[in-house]
Structure 1
């Protein structure tokens, strides 16, 4: 069968994206269905590969179901407080300024990817929301100028920060092993964030991911006659006007005066920042954990919105972005329970050690983590499950502990590009569905995988 003209004009990278996009559009379920299918897969694997029966496996599922409620709240707050900061007038002004730069669809893809990766180095949660808002604003500008663009690819570029953050400031593994009393302190001691982030392998990965995936994503942009039309939800999201800041009523009540008082907002914001500065001054990088990050976002948002009324509205608008986390996180916690309490991770990790050599151990650690991330899409949750096995395996192999931790982290972030769980908030803001971006994000994942695989062999030569 002869290909249509748009397919004939695609370069090899764009053809890859086109093929994967078509597969995604046809077969990729919504994120919620994905969680259910993974639950069934984990259940069947547990029964088939362990000595536990169906009833015991259901018990493992229920046991794990409620173990991540606190973490789910922390993740929800990251989305909500990060979104509130990103929606503040000052940040949105900066986003709009950046969004006005691209003069073509290809430039838009590259710019969004680079911006999101840089923000992910600061914090993955903020990169998710900033990426969504930037992608939408870029699309709005291009549409206004009648410049053709592939919206699904731009949004996929906005998701790439979820593949790049595990070696930087918000790394759940790095923050964990740098904290006194962490779950593996007896086995590996305390490793400062400076040692974790400053490892040569991680420096290589951090620089390579900033350069290679954005160029790759840019080259996937189709020609004008191959661009997908905007669907109603996407069009509505792009054309949606920003809400104006709330203003105090002309005849304010005492309550109105308090709600719109910048003095109150600034006072509580400054109180929060006094503690933040104190924490870093006394503890350094070890102070940085998920609670402090949420604390930073919370009080920064209050300051940026200038009054409590506008901040509360920003939070209310952001809550819908956390709806998927609230529904799906218990399901993923249940999957984690099946894997942890049935011994599936032990079986998988033992198998990896059995087939590993000193040259391939880091590669197999990375690939194992990538597979487990499909079932436990939480860096902190996955480290709780896989960390003890990874460190024990490293000791058996005589491998470097920090590089082993990095490989677990890289695997955890790599398959995020094929795992739509963290894309929930992104999709909600941009008006797209998982199937609209997963073909492109999977292609970018393959590109990023090359960087990670090269990095897995670097320890042999360092």
Structure 2
């Protein structure tokens, strides 16, 4: 019954959901219309806000490109391939793969949401080795595993509020930082973390579709597949000149590559010794890059691996600016702040978590970045909580603020199941050589979305902070 319902949702998404780029264009028009009707922004102001926002995600977009290609290049190394071969021999069925990628992916993204790329690499390689894997559903499982990231070490909202001199303090809304013990270390967050780690893999295990014609990766790969007839080592050998040349000596020099790689390793040791477990996007990319240098051994092999890993990143390159434009409309017309103020007008002490969750969930469609979203609606939400809880003792008020900001984070993360923005990060890895689009995947996430919507709302409303 549940599998049939999941197939029904998938059929609906395939019929009605357009390409991720068209989704962004439609969302742009919807956000613009809301700005003109709700906050009375003029058409020219909307267009100017759209243009000004267009460039807000350039750094983030480049980080995503590098995250994808450096992560994928690691998977192309012979050492990683041997490790995945060994793992594949121990897995008996596709359902075990679905469970494994959700479970491991959840653990990976607890460290950093960018590690979703590692899960994507693992999932694709397992799909090439194990027969009978429903590939679109496997991609949905990998995307699902990123739900937990807001509970982990890279959760941007609680980390921001624990940063001295953050913009909330500078604006005079909070007097001091909000310790992560009140947010990431709270009973509320630990309960949410346990819920996702335990229930998530089990649910995706049992929701696996049952079809006679399983769309495996092998069937989906077209003639443009990234499967090549020569290994990276062989291609590097073929690129050498037929005679001894200094250029080939440099191109294939292990000494040159290892000197650079060891220098990078020295910096990483220094970074973690002086800053603790600071895993921002830049340091994650640097780790992937240095690890790739070690694994491939020579500059030419690494160049070939990066070239193969870069073959499908166009979606990130040209679509991120359009989502940034939507973000600009939300920020510069005041639409995001207006939404948060609306929450303040209807919420009470008991319903603040519900409306904070709802605000995070809705605004995520227009601003699919937790930090960017909180910059828009965070100040208004915290001020709303302070007004609603003005009669509460300081400890209870801080607990209510912590619950509200974490509710925003949970809502933001959950609606990624219906928003293909971050799917663009793993599609270059998982969709390479296929014609898979977001509409082939998102339908499998509707039931998980509905189930976790109910469970997460129950946790944020009733679980002790």
TM-score bucket (shorter structure) = 0.7 to 0.9
Give the one of 104, 125, 132 matched to 1:137: 125
Deviation at 1:126, TM superposition (A): 2.4
Corresponding residue of 1:152: 136
Corresponding residue of 1:291: 282
Corresponding residue of 2:145: 161
Corresponding residue of 2:416: 416
Q: Which segments of 5 or more consecutive residues in structure 2 lack a partner in the other structure?
A: 390-396
**CA pair 13-301 structure 1, distance change in 2 beyond 3 A:** same
Deviation readout 1:57-116 (Å, 9 max, x if unpaired): 111111111222222222222222222234333333333333343322322221222122
Give the one of 21, 29, 50 matched to 2:39: 50
Deviation readout 1:332-371 (Å, 9 max, x if unpaired): 1110111111111122111112221212211211121111
Matches within 5 A, 1:226-241: 227=214, 233-234=220-221, 240=227
For the pair 1:81 / 2:86, whether they are aligned, the reply is no
Corresponding residue of 2:115: 126
Deviation at 1:230, TM superposition (A): 6.9
**CA pair 295-239 structure 1, distance change in 2 beyond 3 A:** closer
Matches within 5 A, 1:233-312: 233-234=220-221, 240=227, 244-246=231-233, 247-248=236-237, 249=240, 251-285=243-277, 287-312=278-303
Deviation at 1:54, TM superposition (A): 1.0
For the pair 1:331 / 2:322, whether they are aligned, the reply is yes
Deviation at 1:31, TM superposition (A): 0.7
**CA pair 267-196 structure 1, distance change in 2 beyond 3 A:** farther
In 2, Cα distance between equivalents of 1:177 and 1:59: 30
Deviation at 1:293, TM superposition (A): 2.2
Corresponding residue of 2:343: 352
Deviation at 1:228, TM superposition (A): 5.1
Deviation at 1:48, TM superposition (A): 1.0
Deviation readout 1:111-142 (Å, 9 max, x if unpaired): 22212212211222222x23333332333233
Give the one of 196, 209, 213 matched to 1:209: 196
In 2, Cα distance between equivalents of 1:34 and 1:159: 18
Task: Answer with 275-284 or 233-242: which moved more.
Answer: 233-242
Deviation readout 1:259-298 (Å, 9 max, x if unpaired): 222222222222222222222222224x432222222222
Deviation at 1:255, TM superposition (A): 2.4
For the pair 1:426 / 2:426, whether they are aligned, the reply is yes
Corresponding residue of 2:184: 197
In 1, Cα distance between equivalents of 2:265 and 2:159: 20
Corresponding residue of 2:386: 395
Give the one of 151, 160, 165 matched to 1:176: 160
**CA pair 142-86 structure 1, distance change in 2 beyond 3 A:** closer
Corresponding residue of 1:219: 206
Q: Secondary structure at the match of 1:212?
A: helix
**CA pair 185-85 structure 1, distance change in 2 beyond 3 A:** farther
Task: Answer with 188-197 or 419-428: which moved more.
Answer: 188-197
Deviation readout 1:414-457 (Å, 9 max, x if unpaired): 11111112112433333321111111022222233233212212
Q: Secondary structure at the match of 2:8?
A: helix
Give the one of 435, 438, 441 matched to 1:437: 441
Q: Secondary structure at the match of 1:223?
A: coil
Deviation at 1:239, TM superposition (A): 9.1
Deviation readout 1:17-76 (Å, 9 max, x if unpaired): 112111111111111111111101101111111121111111111111122222222222
**CA pair 315-451 structure 1, distance change in 2 beyond 3 A:** farther
Give the one of 56, 61, 67 matched to 1:67: 56
Corresponding residue of 1:314: 305
Give the one of 23, 26, 39 matched to 2:12: 23
Deviation at 1:234, TM superposition (A): 4.0
Deviation readout 1:369-412 (Å, 9 max, x if unpaired): 11111111122322222222232223223343333332222122
In 1, Cα distance between equivalents of 2:251 and 2:451: 49
**CA pair 45-230 structure 1, distance change in 2 beyond 3 A:** same
CA contact (8 A) 1:116 1:131 kept: yes
**CA pair 458-303 structure 1, distance change in 2 beyond 3 A:** farther
CA contact (8 A) 2:149 2:155 kept: yes
